A and B are shown apart, each in its own frame.
Chain A
Amino acid sequence: MAKLFNGLLGIGVALALGGLLMLVQGYNPLASYGALLQFSVADSYALATTFTNAVPLVLTGLSAALAFASGPVNLGQPGQLLMGALAATVGGLFLDLPPLLMVPLLVLLAMAGGALWAGLAALLRQVFQMSEFIVTLMLNMVADFFTIWAITYPLQDSTAYSPMTPPIAQSGWLPEWGDWNSAVVWMLAAVAATWFFSRRTRAGYEWRIGGQNSLFARLGGCPVDRNFVWVMLLTGALAGLAGGLVVMGGPHRFLRGLGANDGWDGVMVAIVANNSLPGVFLYGLFFAAIQSGALGMELITGVPSEIAMVLQGVLVLAIVASREALQQVTARLAVRRRALERRA
């Protein structure tokens, strides 16, 4: 209840500030927000666009939230996403199986690509005690340039003018039903599986406790070092899955700038959701709605779509700040109530 209120409060404050900004710039905030709503949730097409946009956001968000809640500071979602996308692309370029086999295989390849990239950071941590915080950040750069090299030279589509690969085999394209892309189904499945894992399995319990108090978990008999590696592998796989689904659901090839902001947006979603998994899902959808609605807003009222970035920034600040403020306020109220009870 308090969480819901906090989220709504933050969103309200952010929208009010965004509206104020538009007013100052001479735009009509009400018409703009109307357009935003219309192009993000009003009809099946708009809703489908929002859900499709949410796929990488939610998956990288899950990756970051699960990692942060379990202890490891995996900030490698951008790199793991790229490596996952590359792995799925390579699979799609060199294999052609029936779709029923091809799609799951490419999805697995994408997850393996992301897991491998995160696993590298885990390995460096286990062997050389290098902080995964730094290593995952640096590996983002490496992945960035490695994938650019890969699509510029060995995997380049010779008929294209900018660096990109040829399209992957059609059997690896994610099926679509009207406006809806089946990438959304994979995302929903990943949300459900991650939640089940975290809440119902023994490993999920150990990860959660280890993230809160690693020494306690260790003394309780949890294999904290081994768990660390598994957290990195699984959260890497989630980010890699995001990359794979982006390729298989959208352009069907790896082109330059693919998934550019998705990794960092996912980290942001995790922070806003305070690492709660249902929270990641809801906030991921919400941010995706703003991103898809902003284009419509530009179309109708001429407000530049960059306002979406401003709104996102204000949202993060407003939600996180109101969470802290609300905690203070409720705590004070509780104390006052208790003091009154005792005086009586």
Chain B
Amino acid sequence: MASPPQQELRRRSMIAAAATTAAIGTVPAALAQSSAETPPEAAKATTLKVSFTVNGKPRDLELDPRTTLLDALREGMNLTGTKKGCDHGQCGACTVLLDGRRINSCLTLAVMHPGADITTVEGLGTPDRLHPMQAAFVKHDGYQCGYCTPGQICSAVAVLAEIEAGIPSHVTTDLNAKPQLTGAELRERMSGNICRCGAYSNIVDAITEVAGSKA
């Protein structure tokens, strides 16, 4: 991990800007704050710069360090495909791929990921060019309200990679053998993605189909 220059980290930048400034580039106006009459605590309200790649596109952001990766995506980059269901790591709706691994983007700060390669549901496919997993979800009706769906799909893509990489799960019978692609394995591994509409049975069908066609 490349460490940015110290002076940048220590920098306490106060951006004076009118509240009505429109969003410019990837620095949302919503992060600008008035320097007038700021109480002592405001002195800590610095912004920090961070650069990473999202869906193949380099992004340079200047953020309140409190900004989660999830909010940086949704509010800073208008990538609202990644959903906020609970903001506390209890639902999985915010699942994205960070350097190829699935994580809850609500429980990490954007500034913690300089140089990272992030993939969101928008980076997997588009309405006119669906990723095979997205197409399988449509075919098997693996969703209803659609709110957990991007997280389910990102998770599903990662789950197949995890099984392929030999990472065991709670239901893997033999820890020292390669995990099998079974319904039980998929259900256990997908359990960090809650679907209150209850599309689970269909989601497992969708993932199974994609896994089968990959083999």
A and B associate: no
